[in-house]
Structure 1
Amino acid sequence: VAYGLRGAGVGRQFKDADARGAHRTVVLGPDEVAEGVALMRSMDTGDEERVSLD
């Protein structure tokens, strides 16, 4: 598990995750928190799925 709390943009963090060989990423930013979801992304296909935090 790795997570980015630094000021790097999401695109940069996706590149870092890909360089580390991550197969999936989870995005939990301010917009996602406001919606009550997490964004799960497959690094292999680029498919994204919103998953409820409930």
Structure 2
Amino acid sequence: MGLDPQWVTDPALALPRTGALRVLGNGVVPQQAAAALRLLLCPHRWAVPA
């Protein structure tokens, strides 16, 4: 998913497997979110032709 190693599996977090899966379940892939924001914020994409 592009997250740092041990994002939810770090022993210091003490998350059970079900908890780790729940945290990741509704996660957004950071690279996908960045691409979506670039597309949405591009002024040329939303320019109305004259």
| TM-score normalised by L of structure 2 | 0.24
Structure (1 or 2) with the greater strand fraction: 1
| Higher-Rg member (1/2) | 2
Larger RCO, structure (CA 8 Å, separation 6 or more): 2
